[in-house]
Structure 1
Amino acid sequence: MRKLQVQGVHHITLVGADRQTSIDFWEGVLGMPFVFEQPNLDAPDESHLYFDPGDGRLITVFTDESRTPDRSPNPTAIGNLHHIAFAVSRATYTQAARRLEERGIAHSGEKDRGFMDSIYFRDPLGQLIELACYKFEPPDGTTHAEVLHEAHRLRVMAGDANIADIHLADALESLSEQTTDSLSPDRTPKDPYSRD
């Protein structure tokens, strides 16, 4: 028996209402360029809209002009999608609440998640959307997931409940030492201010 190794999210497809609601939300609110459209190849009466969330991957939406938006929260029972999170810059994150409020969109307010900051709101079809901003940048040659894996290891060793800034800072230091060579034979912390 062998695994089927995945290499990232290819795309996420949602069932939308009418075409314009999808364009107005995904491009008009979240700034995702509307990159192409074709019929839903499994249901030719529907359209299939493709949006770029900023990393060249795709968010796609099946639309049908006979469907109207329903803002009721989507079900969150076992097997249902709870929310979709999109990465935003720190600058965008600091503006998110204000820009949602300008549109009259209710939101959660800013949430500190230990390793990231988040804000939540619902799309016009009731799907919960999260805008997330990491509190760190990974060292060159490493990924956010690698930093979080190391921060988790450090958190567990410390007996702490969740990842916090101290775990991230120590993980960044550890990974930097592992991925970047130095001519120094001893890379332990030093105090250059204590010399006479």
Structure 2
Amino acid sequence: MMKKITFGLIAIFAFSIAAIAQEINWVTLEEALELQKKEPKKIFMDVYTNWCGPCKMLDKNTFQNKDVADYINKHYYAVKFNAEGNDKVTYKGQEFSNPNYDPAKANRRNSAHQFSRFLRVQAYPTMVFFDETGNFITPVSGYLKPQQLELYLKLFESDSHKEMTSQEQFNEYYKSFKPTFKE
């Protein structure tokens, strides 16, 4: 009887934690561009690969963070894009694919997708930012903890990047930034 009660309490506790955990509302790029027409928001794109360890850490440690998920869901349309996948992507009237994709290598290093090259992705993970009309802003490469990502999410969401014309101005922004996301 005690085992049943203990198991029941553990199940209830696990369900409660799952219900509290905030998740990012991921959509495709095409869906995000369509959503922008009704409600303009910037686009945040996670460019990853199936074999990338830091990409998996980003999913687990950063994207599962409540502050990160809440902020992205409120201010951005979030897109996940497999940089070595086989999906066709249409962006600004141009179609991108991965003609050298090898299905046998689906979970190993594969050919880079044309769209990841177009976005100037050179490492994984890379987060790519687009403005409210779907125009490319910039990629940000590497694994980022919640407070590190917060700096970029707020920089691009507020359009503060438009006022920065030098590395010194970004460095000043970086030094003066006060993160509020919990780690």
TM-score, normalised relative to structure 1: 0.24
Q: Which has the larger radius of gyration?
A: 1
Larger RCO, structure (CA 8 Å, separation 6 or more): 2
Indicate the structure with greater strand content. Answer: 1
TM-score, normalised relative to structure 2: 0.25
